[in-house]
Amino acid sequence: MNNKEINNKIIKLQDKIEDATYEYNIYIKKLKLRIELLQEQVETFNTICCNKTFTTNKDYNKHLKSQEHRLTNEKWIHCPVCRKTFFGYSKEEYTKLPTVDKMKTEYYKHLNDCIYCPKCDEQFRNHMSKKRHECIIPMQALEPMQSTYDTYNDEIDIDSQFDYFLLESLSKDQANQLQLFIKNLPEGDYSITEITDSGLYYVIYETSDNIKVEVVRFKVSTRDEDFLVRLNFIYP
C-alpha cells in the first residue's frame, strides 16, 4: 500500500470520527432536553385529590383510575357477600328502581348468583358466612335469613334489639368484639352508619340533647384477610 492510499484511508477515518462526534452531540442534546422537560414537569405539577398531593402527572392520572378515587367521587354499590363494587348508581338509587329496571343491572345478575348457595339455597349474610358455609342437607330449601342492616343509607339505633351479626362485612369474632366494645361504653343513645371517607367506614355516634357526636369508627372489611383480624377502632 503506497502513501497516497494510506492518506486516503486516514482521511476517511477522520471523516467518520467527525460524523460520529456530530451524531453523538445531537443525541446528548436530545437527552438533556428530555431531562429538562421532565424536571420542569416535576417542579410545576402540584395538585390535590382525595386529601393526597400529587407532584407528577403520571401519578395523578394513575390515581384517577384507582378504586380509592372512584369510591370517593363516583356512585357505586357493593355486593354484601363478596364486596365486588359496581359503579354507576348508589345503593339508594338501586333500591328505588322498579324491579324490571333492577333486573337489567349487572349488580342484580351478580347478586342472585352470589348471595344464595346453589345446592341448598341458603342466603348468605356476608362474606364470612359464605366462606364458612357447609351444606348439611343438600337440595333442601331453608328458611330465608333476616336481611342485613342497610347502614349505608340509614343510621341504625344500637338498642337492646340491635343484632351485631346483621352488620355487613363483619365476621362472627368481629361482631363479638364490637358488641363487647359497645357494652363497655358509658350508658347513652348510640347509633351506627356507614360512610365513605377515603375508604369505607362504620361510624358510631352518640346523641345527647339533640347533638350527635362521633364516638369511634372502624374500616369495613373488603378483603379476605380483613375478616381474620380484630377491628381497629379509630377515635376522632
Q: Is position 93 within any domain?
A: no
What is the number of domains present in the chain? 2
Q: Is position 83 within any domain?
A: no
Q: Is position 176 within any domain?
A: yes
List the one residue out of 126, 154, 116, 120 whose CA is nearest residue 138: 120
Q: Is position 185 within any domain?
A: yes
Model pLDDT, residue 70: 84
Report which of residues 108 and 198 the model is more confident about. Answer: 108
Angle formed at CA 90 by CA 84 and CA 96, multiple of 5 degrees: 120
Q: Is position 77 within any domain?
A: no
Cell numbers 390535590 correspond to 48
pTM: 0.40
pLDDT digits (tens, 9 = 90+) for 101-133: 888 888 888 877 777 776 666 777 666 777 677
pLDDT (average), residues 49-58 = 82
Model pLDDT, residue 158: 92
| Grid coordinates given for 54 | 400529587
pLDDT digits (tens, 9 = 90+) for 201-217: 899 999 988 888 999 99
Q: Is position 206 within any domain?
A: yes
Report which of residues 216 and 167 the model is more confident about. Answer: 216
For the CA atoms of 57, 61, 63, 65, what is the dihedral angle to 10 degrees?
180
Q: Is position 6 within any domain?
A: yes
Q: Domain of 28?
A: 1-44
pLDDT digits (tens, 9 = 90+) for 219-230: 887 776 677 788
Q: Is position 136 within any domain?
A: no
Q: How much of the chain exceeds pLDDT 90, in percent?
A: 9
26-35, 47-56, 78-87, 147-156: the lowest-pLDDT one: 147-156
pLDDT digits (tens, 9 = 90+) for 16-37: 898 888 888 899 988 888 887 7
